[in-house]
């Protein structure tokens, strides 16, 4: 899981790239869920939480 303290040290561009990567991971998990290839359903929660942390830090930087 990502740490907000570490994310605050990154630039806005790096955060946006991390957000894009996390959203791609979530889409991949959704795709695998349809095909019943997901072994750990908890990965959904972790990915969503990472996205929320990144969005929070991005909003703080505005």
User: Domains in the chain, ordered, with CATH?
Assistant: 4-61 (1.10.287)
Cα(32)–Cα(15) distance, rounded to whole angstroms?
A: 26
Per-residue confidence band for 47, with pLDDT thresholds at 50, 70 and 90: very high
Model pTM above 0.75: yes
The shares of helix, strand and coil residues in the chain, as percent rounded to the nearest 5, are 75, 0, 25
pLDDT tens digits, 4-45: 889 899 999 999 999 999 999 999 988 888 888 777 888 899
The whole-number pLDDT of residue 31 equals 87
Report pLDDT for 53.
95
């Amino acid at each position: 899981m990502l740490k907000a303290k570490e994310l605050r040290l990154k630039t806005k561009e790096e955060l946006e790239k991390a957000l894009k990567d996390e959203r791609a991971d979530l889409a991949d998990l959704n795709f695998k869920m349809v095909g019943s290839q997901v072994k750990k359903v908890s990965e959904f929660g972790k990915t969503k939480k990472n996205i929320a942390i990144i969005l929070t830090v991005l909003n703080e930087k505005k």
